[in-house]
Structure 1
Amino acid sequence: MKRSTSVAAVCFLAFGTLGFAAEKLPKGEDPEFIAKAARTIDGHVAAWYRKQKLPVPEVTDDATFLRRVFLVAIGRIPTAEEARFFLEIEDATKRTQLIDYVMKSKGYSSHMTNWAFDLLRVTDGRPGFQGNFEPYRNWVRTALENNMPWDDFTNSLLASSGDGWDPQTASVGYYTRDRGMPLDNLANSMRVFLGSRMECAQCHDDPFGTTERHDFYELAAFTEGQGALGQNKMRKLWDEVQDADRRNAVDYEVAQVMWDGVYGLSLGGSGEGKIKLPEDYQYKDGQPGQMIGAKTPFGKTVRISEKNDKGNGRKDLAEWVTTKTGDQFPSVAANRMWKRVMGRGVYEPVDEYKDAKELHHPDLMRYLIGLMVELDYDLRAFQKVLLNTKTFQFVPNPEPSKVASGDDFHGRQLSRLSAEQLWDSLITLANGDPDKLPRRSLDDRIYVGNKPVLVGKKNMTQVSKEVLALESEEAVRGYFNKLLADVKAEGGSSSSGGDMMGMNAKIQKYGSNSAVRASELPSPAPRDHLLYLFGQSDRIVVDGSSREPNVGQVLSLMNGYVQQQLVNNSGASLYKSLEGATTDEEKIRRLYVTILSRPPSTEEMGWMLDEVKKGKEAGYRNVVSALVMSSEFLFLQ
């Protein structure tokens, strides 16, 4: 039954007070600006339809919109309470209010974290490396929670330098994650932030593009000279403790805390601004081993002479990427966000930049570029505009494109849920709103032998600061001996003494079996996890996730998590939604709303009533199994 309610009541009871102040709001928070920008986008799309002589699609129904906006904006289906409240109220502005709700929720940053981890290949560790990228992972997550503008985010990564454990400089993980592979890192940077595919030019002139090998090395000169801060002061000590007789001793493990855990996460220098051509260089525009200066290949030219010794190449590169490449940087950012919301980029692939004038929708793309700049690269505000468009709300359309270009907007195409969307939706059904759980916190404890030591006395942030401040080999050796003695004094086991400020805070950490959002779990997920089975990226290549089906996925749903935690778990949250229902019809309706975010059709109700009458309680479990295993649940419309 529908019920009427005021806008204020909706905001207070279900979506939370929006808290708009009387003073002028930033554009990204101004409802009038958001609405006007959404109408402008719809105008461009409608103009394209008129040009193609195609009818504009209808707007989809409330139930489809509800599920779509939750999965797109925060990566999970709505809870039973969220779904029932939205579907039962009658209010002309409830879709706008729902968008406000999801974009202000913790779920937004969680879902964006999944996107960023995939894009940036954020991992907890690296093969052969005994440190971890905990501080970098936490930096990325925190930046998204704080809605750091995309240009500032990009600049912080590309210009980073310093202590990997310092919250202000932990973005150096962007480089240390690829230590030893600076050319690959640069190629990924160009692909991620500028949509330029330059990886082929590492070895030869690109036969399919305009980038020559010389161009690539001129660009690589900006980031040349990456290395750990002062690690050579520990080289002799490190060689000593790697002796075979001591390799399994606590000496070696404590040394690793410093070698990999501190030095391995630090980034020295600022970018040489010059680089030697490789010894196999094969073109006439340079000689093997020749020193060349840095130079940008397009946009506003930025140069550093090979005779310059001041460095600052990484800062120059970051500034060039974000401010001196014309429309390219905002275009790629806008197109990535368009694909996140609409399901397909204005141009594809999204990591191959195309000038607006080359597109079938030049005016739309130009507007999106301008909007990204006008919003100061606020990705949340930009996506909020897109969610408010009629274009986002078009009815689903399973038919292929009606135009040769394949990029018309004739209705949202069906797509399989990502691994993260599926996982986060399943745990919502099992345990209720997962965003009420505390997020994973920074674990800065010192680990020796896979156990935390000196807890409450010293942490990695402090150790890193102290070690990187040491100025001599003798000082490093003395620090190691003191740290080793402290660890041995407590037997190498976890201890909780001391009352140093900030060191007794509870560490919130989740294992791979925890029923929490995908963004809180190890990155990447273990190979036996549902996330991996359903295509989560292994974080090796940019955008490495997959939505391709396989037989293993079906078997996993039939015999794994769905059966154990949902179908056969009487304590699952989805069954709690049945409390207070007095008829089979109402119970079936609630299961449909909880799982598919819509009520059943008359025909479906008949089928499910027959099943329930035959099987009693087992009948309800069969209903749950059928709905969760359905294509409707596994796909986004």
Structure 2
Amino acid sequence: MKSRIFGLLACWLSVIPHASGAEKPSPADDPAFIAKSARAIDTHVAAWYRKEKLPVPAVTDDATFLRRTFLVAIGRIPTAEEARFFLEIHEADKRVQLIDYLMKSPGYSSHMTNWVFDLLRVTDDKPGFNGSFEPYRHWVRNAMESNMRWDDFTQALLSAYGDGWDPETAAVGYYTRDRGMPLDNLANSMRIFLGSRMECAQCHDDPFGTTERHDFFELAAFTEGQGALRQNLMRDLWDELADDQRERSTEYEVARIMWDRVYGLSLGGTGDGKIKLPEDYQYRDGEPGKLIGAKTPFGKGVRISEKNDKGGGRKELADWVVGKTGEQFASVAANRMWKRVMGRGVYEPVDEYKPTKELHHPELMNTLISLMVQLDYDLEAFQKVLLNTKTFQFVPNPEPSKVVTGDDFHGRQLTRLSAEQLWDSLITLASGDPDKKPRRGLDDRIYMNRKPVLVGKKNMVQVSKEVLALESEAEVRAYFDKLLDEVKKDGGSAGGGDSMMGMARVQSYDGKAQVRASELPSPAPRNHLLYLFGQSDRIVVEGASREPNVGQVLSLMNGYVQEQLVNNPGAHLYKSLEDAGSDEEKIRRLYITILNRPPTDEEMGWMRDEVKKSGQNGFRNIVSALVMSSEFLFLQ
């Protein structure tokens, strides 16, 4: 029989839309498979203990498991109701049920979205670009919500081509986000998906690795040719209207809708498969300016002749990354997921692949790679297996890892919450379960100077499709005239001020909005708590920081915590006190709500004295102390 926690929470889940999205059934839907796979992993970890003659850690208590699992699986602490339900029941399989509940909740995809945004450097816009990456951001978010397989996700990004506003091809944002920097984009791709650090080889042979500059340019040939679709048809019109930029004429602004927000988001070419060596090329294996064909530097060899005129290089690269690099693609994906769940990679850094045979525990890595392949790169199912291991449930380990280059599997090390985990936990305390709120949708309206035009008549998806179908300069000019006339009749006109049209700036929430980090602008504004606590600026891969600074302390003492929690009688955390029959019960509930555990006897004595001395203000003081405590700010 289901416990009352999961009976009640299952009712909630039934009315919250959650697209598992997996087109193929997963073995992880079978509890027996989950248990068997988790045991296999634990067996290898146990073998490590025997080999190293280490004592096996104890399994952590329910309260620590509860908070850890919520933060790792869905990126926030439990609500007061979720915490009390779990802690007050006594069923042998309640931990398994909790994991099932969390992995089916919309909070999982929200948390994964934060991770992927950081990994791919997804931004709403970028300096110097007057368009928006809104459709690309939305595509990535939907991919996480539908649990798109990691190999399919990778393939879609690396082989992307076409209209940036078309939901089927919006993955082109992966390339258009780095337009003008194709070599940097390629280096990031190799780092993200294969754990190969090649950025040095853009300029010279890598002195710390095996990649030569010639190798890098042969690989870059696969993605060469990333111009916008048919943008040359508008070049003369755009140059003519550019003189109106200072006056912000309506003609100029309408042209910019087409130039930046349609052509600027499109991706032409399918990858030339050939590239010229740079004019400063300095090695004997090639001459400056020489045309060379595409060639892969390792794995199963893939080549395209420099005489090829058929393109198709990006698809060849995607096929090679996903299926022709031996264990490497699966190993990097598995190791990234291990770090997400366990706190530290089997090998570190996670973006520097190490062959399994060279690891301190090759048997475990082999098992993880096999599991990733068996699950068909279903990251949700893979993490579900890891969450069900005893290894995940070990007591925290305050000592640094004994293995410099990886995990020693000897209990989770203490880490400060990420900026996103902290924010999502604070809004949970302030307004209850944030996953019940609608998520940010695709804003496909046409904007001029931050104001929507032609609302209900035409949107960017339609405009983009129509513009990219034009086949001559005359057709482009005629379409521009027609669109300009429609805008003027609709009342749209140019205005003063900054006319950058990034959608995040149009629809962004202010710093007090009670929505999850995945719904906020990416990256967050510089005055936001997320920025103060180290959210990535999305300039470099995985650029987030957990380093402390004075701004964080001031923010907790004088900012959001005080305003939205401590001094806000309407905060959700105070609702848990409404039917409490005594001061002791109120104190207990505050501890469970904030730290997800009951107070010790000693803590209860301290807090009782505080309430006796300060009256109702004592409860606010307790909230302030608990939220700013290291226990709240750290994941055990």
Tell me what 2:432 maps to: 432
Among the aligned pairs, what percent are the same residue? 78
- Structure 1: how far apart are the matches of 2:612 and 2:124? 50
Tell me what 2:378 maps to: 378
| 1:511 Cα deviation after fit | 4.6
In structure 2, stretches of 5+ residues that fail to align are 15-19, 495-505
Tell me what 2:253 maps to: 253
Q: Deviations over 1:589-635 (max 9, x none)?
A: 00000000000000000000000111111100000000000000000
Tell me what 1:632 maps to: 631
Answer yes or no: is the 8 Å Cα contact 2:245–2:252 preserved in 1. Answer: no
Answer yes or no: is the 8 Å Cα contact 2:3–2:91 preserved in 1. Answer: no
Tell me what 2:498 maps to: none
Q: Deviations over 1:447-467 (max 9, x none)?
A: 001100000000000000000
Tell me what 2:567 maps to: 568
Q: Secondary structure of the equivalent of 1:528?
A: coil
Instruction: Show the 5 A alignment for 1:19-418.
Output: 26-244=26-244, 247-402=247-402, 407-418=407-418
- Structure 2: how far apart are the matches of 1:558 and 1:470? 57
| 1:407 Cα deviation after fit | 2.9
Tell me what 1:497 maps to: none
- Structure 1: how far apart are the matches of 2:579 and 2:113? 37
- Structure 1: how far apart are the matches of 2:175 and 2:245? 34
> For residue 29 of structure 2, what is the amino acid of its counterpart?
E
Answer yes or no: is the 8 Å Cα contact 1:511–1:522 preserved in 2. Answer: no
Answer yes or no: is the 8 Å Cα contact 1:453–1:493 preserved in 2. Answer: no
- Structure 2: how far apart are the matches of 1:458 and 1:225? 31
Tell me what 1:551 maps to: 550
Answer yes or no: is the 8 Å Cα contact 1:7–1:93 preserved in 2. Answer: no
Instruction: Show the 5 A alignment for 1:587-598.
Output: 587-598=586-597
- Structure 2: how far apart are the matches of 1:30 and 1:270? 40
Instruction: Show the 5 A alignment for 1:607-626.
Output: 607-626=606-625
Answer yes or no: is the 8 Å Cα contact 2:80–2:576 preserved in 1. Answer: yes
Q: Secondary structure of the equivalent of 1:164?
A: coil
**Is 1:585 the equivalent of 2:584?**
yes
Tell me what 2:7 maps to: 12
> For residue 629 of structure 2, what is the amino acid of its counterpart?
S
- Structure 2: how far apart are the matches of 1:469 and 1:352? 43
> For residue 478 of structure 2, what is the amino acid of its counterpart?
G
Q: Secondary structure of the equivalent of 2:477?
A: helix
Answer yes or no: is the 8 Å Cα contact 1:16–1:101 preserved in 2. Answer: no
State the TM-score, normalizing by the size of structure 2.
0.95
Q: Deviations over 1:178-233 (max 9, x none)?
A: 00000000000000000000000000000000000000000000000110000000
- Structure 2: how far apart are the matches of 1:29 and 1:125? 39
| 1:18 Cα deviation after fit | 9.4
**Is 1:517 the equivalent of 2:519?**
no
Q: Secondary structure of the equivalent of 2:447?
A: strand
Answer yes or no: is the 8 Å Cα contact 2:347–2:406 preserved in 1. Answer: no
> For residue 616 of structure 1, what is the amino acid of its counterpart?
G
| 1:75 Cα deviation after fit | 0.4
- Judged with a 3 Å threshold, the aligned counterparts in structure 2 of structure 1 residues 492 and 350 are, in CA distance, closer, same or farther, namely same
- Structure 1: how far apart are the matches of 2:583 and 2:357? 58
| 1:522 Cα deviation after fit | 0.3
- Structure 2: how far apart are the matches of 1:191 and 1:138? 23
- Structure 2: how far apart are the matches of 1:566 and 1:513? 11
- Structure 1: how far apart are the matches of 2:622 and 2:12? 37
- Structure 1: how far apart are the matches of 2:26 and 2:171? 27
> For residue 522 of structure 2, what is the amino acid of its counterpart?
S
Answer yes or no: is the 8 Å Cα contact 1:224–1:271 preserved in 2. Answer: yes
> For residue 143 of structure 2, what is the amino acid of its counterpart?
A
- Judged with a 3 Å threshold, the aligned counterparts in structure 2 of structure 1 residues 164 and 250 are, in CA distance, closer, same or farther, namely same
Q: Deviations over 1:57-115 (max 9, x none)?
A: 01000000000000000000000000000000000000000000000000000000000
- Structure 2: how far apart are the matches of 1:512 and 1:124? 17
| 1:284 Cα deviation after fit | 0.3
Q: Deviations over 1:147-205 (max 9, x none)?
A: 00000000000000000000000000000000000000000000000000000000000
Q: Secondary structure of the equivalent of 1:7?
A: coil
Tell me what 1:600 maps to: 599
- Judged with a 3 Å threshold, the aligned counterparts in structure 2 of structure 1 residues 208 and 246 are, in CA distance, closer, same or farther, namely closer
| 1:240 Cα deviation after fit | 1.1
- Structure 2: how far apart are the matches of 1:402 and 1:464? 55
Q: Secondary structure of the equivalent of 2:243?
A: coil
- Structure 1: how far apart are the matches of 2:27 and 2:370? 13
Q: Deviations over 1:498-537 (max 9, x none)?
A: xxxxxxxxx9864554220000000000111100000000
Answer yes or no: is the 8 Å Cα contact 2:5–2:82 preserved in 1. Answer: no
- Judged with a 3 Å threshold, the aligned counterparts in structure 2 of structure 1 residues 518 and 330 are, in CA distance, closer, same or farther, namely same
- Structure 1: how far apart are the matches of 2:404 and 2:146? 42
Answer yes or no: is the 8 Å Cα contact 1:163–1:169 preserved in 2. Answer: yes
| 1:485 Cα deviation after fit | 1.2
| 1:248 Cα deviation after fit | 1.0
| 1:250 Cα deviation after fit | 1.4
- Judged with a 3 Å threshold, the aligned counterparts in structure 2 of structure 1 residues 128 and 401 are, in CA distance, closer, same or farther, namely closer
Answer yes or no: is the 8 Å Cα contact 1:162–1:229 preserved in 2. Answer: yes
- Judged with a 3 Å threshold, the aligned counterparts in structure 2 of structure 1 residues 232 and 511 are, in CA distance, closer, same or farther, namely farther
> For residue 219 of structure 1, what is the amino acid of its counterpart?
L
Q: Deviations over 1:513-571 (max 9, x none)?
A: 42200000000001111000000000000000000011110010000000000000000
Answer yes or no: is the 8 Å Cα contact 2:159–2:317 preserved in 1. Answer: yes
Tell me what 1:526 maps to: 525
- Structure 1: how far apart are the matches of 2:527 and 2:592? 31
Answer yes or no: is the 8 Å Cα contact 1:443–1:509 preserved in 2. Answer: no
- Structure 2: how far apart are the matches of 1:342 and 1:458? 48
Tell me what 1:498 maps to: none
Q: Secondary structure of the equivalent of 1:89?
A: coil
| 1:11 Cα deviation after fit | 3.1
> For residue 197 of structure 2, what is the amino acid of its counterpart?
R
| 1:7 Cα deviation after fit | 2.6
Q: RMSD of the TM alignment (CA)?
A: 1.7
Q: Deviations over 1:354-391 (max 9, x none)?
A: 01111111000010001000000000000000000000
Answer yes or no: is the 8 Å Cα contact 2:346–2:406 preserved in 1. Answer: no
- Judged with a 3 Å threshold, the aligned counterparts in structure 2 of structure 1 residues 112 and 396 are, in CA distance, closer, same or farther, namely same
State the TM-score, normalizing by the size of structure 1.
0.95
Q: Secondary structure of the equivalent of 2:423?
A: helix
Answer yes or no: is the 8 Å Cα contact 1:440–1:508 preserved in 2. Answer: no
Tell me what 1:499 maps to: none
Answer yes or no: is the 8 Å Cα contact 2:244–2:252 preserved in 1. Answer: no
Q: Secondary structure of the equivalent of 1:207?
A: coil
> For residue 589 of structure 2, what is the amino acid of its counterpart?
R
- Judged with a 3 Å threshold, the aligned counterparts in structure 2 of structure 1 residues 458 and 25 are, in CA distance, closer, same or farther, namely closer
**Is 1:461 the equivalent of 2:447?**
no
| 1:289 Cα deviation after fit | 0.3
| 1:481 Cα deviation after fit | 1.0
Answer yes or no: is the 8 Å Cα contact 1:512–1:525 preserved in 2. Answer: no
- Judged with a 3 Å threshold, the aligned counterparts in structure 2 of structure 1 residues 95 and 425 are, in CA distance, closer, same or farther, namely same
